[in-house]
């Protein structure tokens, strides 16, 4: 029976041609043995992962050069749907030729994008994104086995959206820095909730520890509490000397901005403060990767200004110099 009859015409069209081809003829399916490892002069790693939500499972084989840590060969076995097979096949392909550390940075989004026929057209329907998550998770297990560490040591953040691998910290930061007010805003800025939607609110096909509706509600409530406190302190700020105001701005940059910029190799320096017609002008200078970045004068600048208005005073204007 043709796959179109098995899956349904409309749904079948939601899969890319690359996914369809790898469902039928995966290039990297199979296993590697100790004999293969000796022949290639490497170490054999075998990692298993299963998804309770759908019953799929994948086994990943690596042969890793112990001197260079380069993955010389990768194979997989997958027990599950065709999407799991296609995702696992691409995952194994992306691993080969990379070091173990480089492979550890491969995400399920990388796997899905590599399976696209067109850069802007998803390779699979949203409800099947969890299949590429399995590929991400089994890589992490292989890395932990190779390095001889506990898997939990490789997971440093709480993941809210498994499909997009979007962390709790990223979502909270996006809400705060961009003054987001709806779940749709969160999805637009972070991609969280844009796939299977289980993380949006209770009642989806998988139970979650955190849901976007709750994160949004709690973060907005905390923001409103902080804004109220800030309004109460505004009079005190207005009476400060310019030196004390400068220290308050510097403190807000240190605690709320620099870590965000450092994640992309950037930084910011406080250059000067000037008061003009009731507005506190904050002059900054970008450093590192922020220099010449297109968003330095738009999104990044707006985010810095939002933070300072929330944390210091509402009459602040940030000016890059």
Helix locations, the chain, DSSP H? 3-7, 9-12, 17-24, 34-40, 82-95, 100-103, 108-114, 130-147, 168-178, 183-190, 212-238, 242-256, 258-262, 299-311
On whether the CB atoms of residues 320 and 286 are closer than 8 A, the answer is yes
- CA of 81: how far to CAs of 10, 24, 90, 164, 272, in Å? 18, 11, 15, 20, 60
**Known active-site residue 161:** no
Q: Which residues of 181-210 are buried (b: 16+ CB within 10 A; e: fewer)?
A: eebeebbebbbbbbbbbbbbeeeeeeebeb
Has 54 been annotated as catalytic?
yes
Catalytic residue among 131, 161, 163, 196: 131
Long-range contact pairs involving 110-115 (C-beta distance under 8 Å, separation at least 24): 111/87, 111/135, 111/136, 112/87, 114/90, 115/16, 115/18, 115/19, 115/22, 115/86, 115/87, 115/90
Q: How far apart are CA 49 and CA 267, in angstroms?
A: 39
Dihedral angle sign, alpha carbons of residues 152, 156, 161, 163: negative
CA 131 to CA 54: how far, in whole Å? 9
Contact predicate 214/293, CB 8 Å:
no
**Catalytic residue numbers?**
54, 131
């Amino acid at each position: 029976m043709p796959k179109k009859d098995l899956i349904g015409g409309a749904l079948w069209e939601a899969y890319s041609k690359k996914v369809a081809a790898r469902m039928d003829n995966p290039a990297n399916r199979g296993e590697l043995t100790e004999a293969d490892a000796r022949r290639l002069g490497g170490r054999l790693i075998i990692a298993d992962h299963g998804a309770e939500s759908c019953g799929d499972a994948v086994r990943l084989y690596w042969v890793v050069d112990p001197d260079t840590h380069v993955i010389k060969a990768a194979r997989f076995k997958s027990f599950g749907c065709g999407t799991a097979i296609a995702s696992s096949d691409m995952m194994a392909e992306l691993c080969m030729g990379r070091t173990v550390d480089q492979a550890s940075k491969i995400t399920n989004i990388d796997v899905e994008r590599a399976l696209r026929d067109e850069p802007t057209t998803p390779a699979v329907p949203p409800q099947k994104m969890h299949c590429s998550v399995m590929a991400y998770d089994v890589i992490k297990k292989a890395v932990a086995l190779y390095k001889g560490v506990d898997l939990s040591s490789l997971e440093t953040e709480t993941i809210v959206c498994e499909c997009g691998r979007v962390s709790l910290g990223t979502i909270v930061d996006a809400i705060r820095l961009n003054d987001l007010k709806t779940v749709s805003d969160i999805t637009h800025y972070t991609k969280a909730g844009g796939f299977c939607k289980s993380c949006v609110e209770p009642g989806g096909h998988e139970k979650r520890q955190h849901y976007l509706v709750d994160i949004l509600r709690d973060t907005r409530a905390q923001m409103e509490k902080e804004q109220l406190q800030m309004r109460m302190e505004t009079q005190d700020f207005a009476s400060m000397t310019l030196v004390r105001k400068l220290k308050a701005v510097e403190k807000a940059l240190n605690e709320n901005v620099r870590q965000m910029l450092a994640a992309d190799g950037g930084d910011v320096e406080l250059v000067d403060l000037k008061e003009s017609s009731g507005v506190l002008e904050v002059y900054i200078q970008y450093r590192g990767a922020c220099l010449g970045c297109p968003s330095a004068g738009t999104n990044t600048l707006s985010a810095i200004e939002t933070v300072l208005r929330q944390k210091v005073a509402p009459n602040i204007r940030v000016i890059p110099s």
